[in-house]
C-alpha cells in the first residue's frame, strides 16, 4: 500500500474560464496572429507597391476585426419598423427639369459602373462586361454609348468610372483603348484584393503577395469596398475638387441603369426640396415572386437600411420573401453625395454588415471571404431616401435566360439604352427558365436558336433538355417545352406556340 504524505497534492488547477472571457481571449489571439501573418505577407511586396498594399491590408484588418466582434444577428427581427411616410418616393412624382438646367446638373455627376465580375458563370472568359448582348455590342459598349449620347445632346462632360477587380483590370484596360475617339472620359480604379482565410485556422492561406501565381488565395471583397477603394484611388477627392456633387453607381450588367434626369433633378435641380441635401438614394422596385431573394429596405433604429436575406434569422425567411410584408427590393442603383462619402470615411463610421461567404476551393480547402454590399452603407448617411422606380430600370443579365430577353424583339436599342417595345401590352417582362444542362453557357445557348424567337406576347417560358428553335418562331402566353433524357425536340421554323406544353421527342430531319 502506498503511503502518501498528508500534504496537498499539487496538480494543474483549472479555473473554469468565463465563456465571454474565453471568446475575448480567442479573438485577441486571432487578431494578433492575423497581424503577424499580414506583416509576413507585406515583406514579400516590392517597394513600389508597398504603400498601396499596406493601405488595403489596413482595410482588411479592420474588416476582420469587425468580423471577430460581431455576435449574433445584425438585425433583431422584432425591432424592424414600418417604413415611415415619404421614406420611399414614387418615381412618378418626380419632375423633369427645365432644359436649360440639364447641362449644369450633368456636370455635377460622375457615373460609376461595378466592373469586377467575370463571365465564367455564363461560360465566357474575361470580364463579364465584354460579353456581346445586343447587335454584337457588349455591356461596356452600351454604357459608353449611353454616356456619349448624354454628353453630346447636352454638351456636358459626364465621366465614366469603372471599378475593376484584379480579375478584370488587365483585360478592361485593353478594351477601353477603342473608346479613345468618343466624347467620354473614362477612368478606372481597382477594388481591394484581400486574402481568403482558412475556415479552420481563421488565417490567410496566401504565402506571399504573388497574386497571379496563387490566384485562389485572393478575392475582391464585394462592391461595398467601393467607397474605400474610390477614396484610395484619389478619384473621390479629384471629382470633389472639380465641383462634382453626386455619383450614380450601378452594376455594369444592369442594362436598365441609365442616368436618370428626373432623379438627378430631385437631388440638385428644380425639384430639390429643403436646405439639407439628400446624401444617399437607393432605387427600389416592386417585388414580384421572382425577386423574393433580393435585398429590401427597412426602417431600423430610426434609419433606413438595406436588409439582405443573409441577415434574416432562419425562422423569418418566409416573412422576408413575402411580397405583402416587403413590397420593394433593391436594384443596386445607388446615388451618393461625394462630400458625404468622404465625411463618413474620414470619420471611420462606414460600418456595413459583413457578408461571410463560405467557399470550398478546387483542392478541397474550406475558406471564408469577408464581403460587404454597397447598399448596406445607407445607414451610415444622413437623409437617405428610397425611390420606387419602374421595372425598366432593373434589367440585369445574370443568366442566359436574361440574355434571351434583351436580345429579343421585346426591346429596341436607342443610343445604347434598351427601350421596351410599344407592342408589348404590359410593362412586366416574361418569366423565362432555361435548363442548365443545355442552355447555361452563352455559346451553347446561341447555337440552339436559328434566331431569337418573337417574345412580344410571351408570359412564361420553361425549356428543359435538348431543344432547338428554328428561324421565325413565335412564343405566346405560357409555353413549356420538355425533352426528357435521351430525347430531342426541334421546334420547326415559323412555328407559333401559344399556351402549349411540348414534350417527348420531335426531330426534324433534312430531306
**Which residues, 6 or more positions from 13, have their beta carbon under 8 angstroms from its beta carbon?**
none
Is 128 known as a binding-site position? yes
As a whole number of angstroms, the distance between CA 85 and CA 96 comes to 23
Is 149 known as a binding-site position? no
Yes or no: say if 387 and 94 are a contact pair by the CB < 8 Å rule: yes
Is 222 known as a binding-site position? yes
As a whole number of angstroms, the distance between CA 194 and CA 67 comes to 14
As a whole number of angstroms, the distance between CA 64 and CA 66 comes to 5
Yes or no: say if 401 and 429 are a contact pair by the CB < 8 Å rule: no
As a whole number of angstroms, the distance between CA 147 and CA 416 comes to 9
Is residue 152 part of the annotated active site? The answer reads no
For the chain, give the number of residues: 511
Is 273 known as a binding-site position? no
Q: Which of 398, 433, 441, 500 is catalytic?
A: 398
Supply 61's cell numbers: 484588418
Report the DSSP beta bridge partners of residue 255. Answer: none
Give the CA distances from residue 294 to residues 83, 98, 286, 320, 329, in Å, rounded to whole numbers and listed in that order.
17, 35, 11, 10, 6
Tell me the backbone φ, ψ of residue 189, rounded to 5 degrees. Answer: -150, 160
As a whole number of angstroms, the distance between CA 417 and CA 259 comes to 10
Q: What share of the chain is helix, strand, coil (3-state, %, to 5)?
A: 35, 25, 40
Report the DSSP beta bridge partners of residue 502. Answer: 481
Yes or no: say if 195 and 220 are a contact pair by the CB < 8 Å rule: no
- The residue written with cell numbers 498601396 in the block is 52
Q: To which H or E segment does residue 499 belong?
A: strand 496-503
Is 183 known as a binding-site position? no
As a whole number of angstroms, the distance between CA 106 and CA 157 comes to 7
Q: Spell out the SS3 assignment of 165-223.
A: CCCCHHHHHHHHHHHCCCCCCEEEEECCCEECEECCCCCECCCCCCHHHHHHHEECCCH
C-alpha dihedral, 388 to 392 to 394 to 395, nearest 10°: 170
Is 89 known as a binding-site position? no
**Which residues, 6 or more positions from 286, have their beta carbon under 8 angstroms from its beta carbon?**
327, 328, 388, 391
Q: To which H or E segment does residue 282 belong?
A: strand 280-286
Report the binding-site residues for substrate: 223
Q: Which residues are annotated as catalytic? A: 398
Report the binding-site residues for UTP: 128, 191, 222, 253, 398
Report the binding-site residues: 128, 191, 222-223, 253, 398
Amino acid at each position: 500500500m502506498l503511503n502518501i504524505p498528508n500534504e496537498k497534492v499539487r496538480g494543474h488547477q483549472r479555473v473554469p474560464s468565463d465563456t465571454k472571457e474565453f471568446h475575448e481571449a480567442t479573438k485577441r489571439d486571432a487578431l494578433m496572429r492575423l497581424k503577424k501573418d499580414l506583416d509576413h505577407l507585406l515583406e514579400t511586396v516590392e517597394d513600389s507597391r508597398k504603400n498601396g498594399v499596406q493601405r488595403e491590408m489596413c482595410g482588411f484588418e479592420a474588416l476582420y476585426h469587425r468580423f471577430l466582434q460581431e455576435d449574433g444577428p445584425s438585425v433583431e427581427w422584432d425591432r424592424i419598423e414600418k417604413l415611415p411616410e415619404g421614406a420611399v418616393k414614387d418615381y412618378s412624382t418626380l419632375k423633369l427639369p427645365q432644359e436649360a438646367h440639364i447641362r449644369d446638373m450633368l456636370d455635377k455627376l460622375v457615373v460609376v459602373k461595378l466592373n469586377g465580375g467575370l463571365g465564367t458563370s455564363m461560360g465566357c472568359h474575361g470580364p463579364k462586361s465584354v460579353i456581346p448582348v445586343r447587335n454584337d455590342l457588349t455591356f461596356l459598349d452600351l454604357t459608353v454609348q449611353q454616356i456619349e449620347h448624354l454628353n453630346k445632346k447636352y454638351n456636358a462632360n459626364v465621366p465614366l468610372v469603372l471599378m475593376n477587380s484584379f480579375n478584370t483590370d488587365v483585360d478592361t484596360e485593353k478594351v477601353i483603348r477603342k473608346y479613345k475617339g468618343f466624347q467620354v472620359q473614362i477612368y478606372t480604379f481597382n477594388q481591394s484584393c484581400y486574402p481568403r482565410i482558412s475556415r479552420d485556422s481563421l488565417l490567410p492561406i496566401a504565402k506571399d503577395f504573388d497574386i497571379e501565381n496563387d490566384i485562389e488565395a485572393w478575392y475582391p471583397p464585394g462592391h461595398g469596398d467601393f467607397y474605400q477603394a474610390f477614396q484610395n484611388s484619389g478619384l473621390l477627392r479629384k471629382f470633389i475638387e472639380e465641383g462634382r456633387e453626386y455619383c450614380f453607381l450601378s452594376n455594369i450588367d444592369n442594362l436598365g441603369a441609365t442616368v436618370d434626369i428626373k432623379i438627378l433633378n430631385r437631388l440638385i435641380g428644380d425639384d430639390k426640396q429643403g436646405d439639407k441635401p439628400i446624401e444617399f438614394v437607393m432605387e427600389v422596385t416592386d417585388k414580384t415572386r421572382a425577386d423574393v431573394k433580393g435585398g429590401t429596405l427597412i426602417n431600423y433604429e430610426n434609419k433606413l437600411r438595406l436588409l439582405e436575406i443573409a441577415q434574416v434569422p432562419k425562422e423569418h425567411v418566409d416573412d422576408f420573401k413575402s411580397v405583402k410584408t416587403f413590397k420593394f427590393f433593391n436594384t443596386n442603383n445607388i446615388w451618393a453625395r461625394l462630400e458625404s462619402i468622404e465625411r463618413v470615411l474620414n470619420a471611420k463610421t462606414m460600418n456595413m454588415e459583413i457578408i461571410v461567404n463560405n467557399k470550398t476551393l478546387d483542392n478541397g480547402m474550406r475558406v471564408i471571404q469577408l464581403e460587404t454590399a454597397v447598399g448596406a452603407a445607407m445607414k451610415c448617411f444622413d437623409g437617405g431616401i428610397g425611390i420606387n422606380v419602374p421595372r425598366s430600370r432593373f434589367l440585369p443579365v445574370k443568366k442566359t435566360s436574361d440574355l434571351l430577353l434583351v436580345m429579343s424583339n421585346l426591346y429596341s436599342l436607342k443610343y445604347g439604352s434598351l427601350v421596351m417595345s410599344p407592342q408589348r401590352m404590359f410593362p412586366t417582362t416574361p418569366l423565362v427558365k432555361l435548363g442548365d444542362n443545355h442552355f447555361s453557357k452563352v455559346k451553347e445557348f446561341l447555337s440552339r436558336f436559328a434566331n431569337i424567337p418573337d417574345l412580344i406576347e410571351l408570359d412564361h417560358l420553361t425549356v428543359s433538355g435538348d431543344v432547338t428553335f428554328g428561324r421565325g418562331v413565335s412564343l405566346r402566353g405560357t409555353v413549356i417545352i420538355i425533352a426528357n433524357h435521351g430525347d430531342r425536340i426541334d421546334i420547326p421554323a415559323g412555328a407559333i406556340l401559344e399556351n402549349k406544353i411540348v414534350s417527348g421527342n420531335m426531330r426534324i430531319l433534312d430531306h
